Amino acid sequence: MKSPHDLASLTIGSVREGLQAKKFSAKELTQAALDLAEAENPKTNAFLTFACEHALADAERVDKAVAHGGYVGALAGVPVGIKDVIVTKDLRTTCGSRILENYIPPYDATAVYRLREEGAVILGKLNCDEFAMGSSNENSAYGPVRNPRALDRVPGGSSGGAAASVAQGTAVATLGSDTGGSIRQPASFCGVVGVTPTYGRVSRYGLVAFASSLDHIGPFARNVEDAATMLRIIAGRDDLDSTSAFAPVDDYHALMRHPVRGLKLGLPKEYFEGLNAETGDVIHAAIKQLGSLGCEIREISLPHTKYALSCYYIIATAEASSNLARYDGVRYTIRSDGDSLTSMYRNTRGSGFGAEVKRRIMLGTYVLSAGYYDAYYRKAQQVRTLIAKDFSEAFKDVDALVTPVSPFPAFKIGEKVDDPLAMYLSDVYTLTGDLAGVPCMSVPCGESPEGLPIGLQIFAKHFDEATMFRVAYKYEQATSR
Amino acid sequence: MRLTEPEVRYVADLANLRLSEEEVSRMSHDLGEILTHIEQLNELDTSNVEPMAQVLYEADETATLREDIPHTPLGNREALANAAASGAGYFKVPRVIDR
């Protein structure tokens, strides 16, 4: 065999084996992945920018290193993709927005840098909702992404391209970002693994800021093991992000192989209300499976769950309205002229941002405006404390929580686009994890009767990604094949 | 709750956003709907609850201070490379002082 014939089933481990056994070279693999990505793009629109020349040059370097023998990196030759809100040196980064249409970053995000150091080959940049604001990837200025599992449906959002490219078999793994569910929800909709680590576990340096106290970088992959490999590489203290944590990074691969027998799993009852019936059946079957593996299942309560959406939309939009003030027509490529400095700012921002971004800047500006700060922002921060306490109380009694990721599987393109509140409600089960800062992930656990993927969400204690991976890995092992 | 169109225009000015008449009307409806939903937070008595100003902070106060060793900063040319307009090593903006 001269080239990797089945890209969609490749994993980080099988790329390593293939390179070592000389079944294919990194250059052949990269070329095959780029060819497939370009051929699929008219259908799914997952990629916004291809990095063909850079990728092939990086792959050649890997091949030379392999030929010389010695250590070539944990991701040597692995084709990866990067969500377009994460900056890549000399590779266009648009954030899915017109306002950054021609922006070429002068540096790599720390997470991207760490992937490159391990030999990963970056195929290109992945489509997403504009500035990661959305739940369906329909807010991209460059058109929606289509779900590779059902092309008339959304891939989820905001990291739609990052989930879709792993599902369609172009990238073996990708980096996305999660502020309210933007990794877990698309992972669930596309049938791949998606991980939102503990707040501070992965440096945010080079992640274009949306809501700084809620933003996370995390991986997508085809299985739990690959997701853990990706996280282990990008995790850990970075002096360029003062909120990145000093806590040591665990050996996820060793720890996730420990038995789950006796682990206590909580089912927060609030996450099973308002769930569509088909999703409920699949989730309950998955919980039963975990029970048969020896996990002890307990119903618990996270009583402030119903306030999460309101809390989130105050804090996230307030932070966004500040973070997005920098797009002023001066530093970042696009300018619409005006007869004064202020009118230039207003014209640039008015024509450069899309409808959802403007809506959130407006809401955030309103809740922070004179006289409203205490009523909205301070109140929301207090409610955030209550939501975080719900989790810390629950984790006194249980080791992890299992819930659905979304109340329903992937919906049709256009179905919710005219109703912002209905769209926001598709994130009700994921927002809480970002507000509390706990690690959480989506692992595929079945399909709806129409064949749409459904994901199981697992939450763990702060910095206890190892237990989260253990539950996901043992579940995956018990149900695959 | 409803946000009036003059209120929408006032907030748009604060945010430096030019909105069309159609956008102002749409924004008045959408923001009103979201703010109505948000009012549910008033059901909660939070008078004795600390606001969550830090997500996680387990390190010493000085832990994030690095050694005072100079680093090479981004050069002037790189910093200006994405400017909408630049000249003589500076960002250029529309005239702000009339002579």
CB B11 to CB A329 under 8 A?
Answer: no
Six-digit token string for A269: 């009852």
The pLDDT of residue A281: 97
Specify whether A275 is located in the same domain as A189.
no
Give contacts of A421 with chain B, Cβ < 8 Å: 33-34, 37
3-state secondary structure of A90: coil
Q: Which residues of B touch A325 (CB under 8 A)?
A: 16
- Rounded CA-CA distance A445/A471 in Å is 12
The CATH architecture assigned to B5-43 reads: Orthogonal Bundle (1.10)
pLDDT at A313: 95
**For residue A425, what pLDDT band results from cuts at 50, 70 and 90?**
confident
Question: Which has more pLDDT, A81 or B99?
Answer: A81
Rounded to the nearest integer, the mean pLDDT of chain A is 96
Question: For residue A450, what pLDDT is reported?
Answer: 95
| A240 and A281 together in one domain | no
The domain locations on chain B are 5-43
Same domain, A143 and A292: no
Task: Note whether A214 and A138 are same-domain residues.
Answer: yes
Query: How many residues are recorded in chain A?
Result: 481
A245 contact residues in B (CB cutoff 8 A): 56, 58-59
pLDDT of A428 higher than 50: yes
On whether the CB atoms of residues B56 and A307 are closer than 8 A, the answer is no
For residue A94, the enclosing domain spans 7-255
Position A325 in a domain:
no
Confidence of residue A4 (pLDDT cuts 50, 70, 90): low
* Predicted pLDDT at B57: 62
pLDDT single digits (tens) A355-367: 999 999 999 999 9
Which of B11, B14, B52 is most worth mutating to test chain A (most A CB atoms within 10 A of its CB)? Answer: B52
pLDDT digits (tens, 9 = 90+) for A236-284: 999 999 899 999 999 999 999 999 999 999 999 999 988 899 999 999 9
A1-23: b or e for each residue (b if 16 or more CB lie within 10 Å)? eeebeebeebbbebbbebbeeeb
Query: If we measure between CA atoms, which residue out of A357, A466, A473 comes closest to residue A420?
Result: A357
**Residue keyed to tokens 């690959």:** A226
pLDDT given at position A156: 97
Residue A25: left if φ>0, alpha if ψ -120 to 50, beta else—which one? beta
**pLDDT score for B56:** 79
Q: Which residue has the higher pLDDT, A430 or A481?
A: A430
- Domain assignment present for residue A176? The answer is yes
Spot the catalytic one: A97, A177, A182, A426: A182
CB pairs under 8 A between A and B: 157
Catalytic residue chosen out of the listed positions A158, A165, A406, A426: A158
Q: Which of A26-30, A219-223, A274-278, B7-11 has the lowest mean pLDDT?
A: A274-278
**Set of chain A residues whose Cβ sits within 8 Å of the Cβ of B15:** 321, 349, 361-362, 365
Task: Based on the fold, state whether residues A74 and A48 are members of the same structural domain.
Answer: yes
pLDDT at A292 over 90: yes
pLDDT of residue A366: 97
What pLDDT is attached to residue A298?
A: 97
The pLDDT tens digits of the residues spanning B28-78 come to 999 999 999 999 999 999 999 999 988 876 667 777 777 899 989 899 999
Name which of A100, A366, A421 to mutate to probe chain B: the one with the most chain B Cβ atoms within 10 A of its Cβ: A366
Range A408-434 average pLDDT: 91
Residue A272 lies in a domain: yes
pLDDT of residue A481: 57
Q: In chain A, what residues touch B26 (CB-CB under 8 Å)? A: 355
* Residues A44-73 pLDDT 10s: 999 999 999 999 999 999 999 999 987 899
What does DSSP assign to residue A369?
A: S
Selected for mutation to probe chain A from B1, B16, B45 (highest A CB count within 10 Å) is: B16
Contact between A238 and A205 under an 8 Å Cβ cutoff? The reply is yes
The one catalytic residue in A27, A83, A125, A474 is: A83
Identify which of A104, A330, A355 has the shortest CB distance to residue B84. A330
Record: contact A309-B37, CB cut-off 8 A? yes
Non-local (6+) Cβ contacts of B29 within 8 A are none
Residue A226 lies in a domain: yes
Question: Are residue A135 and residue A281 in the same domain, yes or no?
Answer: no
Residue A185, pLDDT > 60, answer: yes
Nearest CA in chain B to A421: B34
Residue A323 lies in a domain: no
| A245 with B55: Cβ contact below 8 A | no
CB contact under 8 Å between A329 and B84, yes or no, is yes
**pLDDT (average), residues B22-31:** 96
A318 assigned to some structural domain: no
Note the pLDDT of residue A419: 84
ipTM over 0.90: yes
| pLDDT at A114 exceeding the cut of 70 | yes
Enumerate the β-bridge partners of residue A243: none
Q: Is residue A183 part of a domain?
A: yes
* Contact at CB, B52 and A382, closer than 8 angstroms: yes
Query: What tens digit of pLDDT does each residue of A333-391 get?
Result: 899 999 999 999 999 999 999 999 999 999 999 999 989 999 999 999 999 999 999 99
Q: Which residue of A has its CA nearest to B49?
A: A382
User: Can you give the pTM of this predicted structure?
Assistant: 0.97
Best residue of B26, B41, B90, B95 to probe chain A, by most A CBs closer than 10 Å:
B41
The per-residue pLDDT for B95 is 87
Q: What is the pLDDT of residue A426?
A: 83
pLDDT tier, A2 (very low <50, low <70, confident <90, very high otherwise)? very low
Q: Searching chain A, which residue's CA lies closest to the CA of residue B61?
A: A242
CATH number, domain at A206? 3.90.1300.10
B65 contacts on A by Cβ (under 8 Å): none
Q: Is residue A152 located within the same domain as residue A296? A: no
Cβ contact (<8 Å) for A242 and B84? Answer: no
What percent of chain A stands above pLDDT 90?
Answer: 93
φ, ψ (nearest 5 deg) of residue A125: -110, 140
**Is the residue at A334 inside a domain?**
no
User: Do A231 and A276 belong to one domain?
Assistant: no
Neighbours of A369 (CB within 10 A): 16
The answer to whether A199 and A437 have CB atoms below 8 angstroms apart is yes
The Cα-based distances of A448 to A8, A47, A192, A209, A283 in angstroms read: 22, 27, 15, 35, 11
Question: Residue A378: which of B37, B40, B51 has the nearest Cβ?
Answer: B51
Q: What's the confidence (pLDDT) of residue A226?
A: 98
Section A64-83 average pLDDT:
94
Q: Does residue A199 register a pLDDT over 90? A: yes
Instruction: Tell me whether residues A102 and B56 touch, CB distance under 8 A.
Output: no
Which residue bears the tokens 């499976």? Answer: A289
Mean pLDDT value of segment A118-146: 98
CB contact under 8 A, A358 and B85: no
Residue A124 and residue A200 in one domain: yes
**B46 and A332 in contact by Cβ < 8 A?**
no
Note if A182 is an active site residue.
Answer: yes
> Same structural domain for residues A248 and A287?
no
Are both A278 and A421 inside the same structural domain? Answer: yes
Quote the pLDDT of residue B58: 62
Residue-level pLDDT at A73: 95
- Model confidence at A424, pLDDT cuts 50, 70, 90, reads confident
E-state strands within A283-338: 296-300
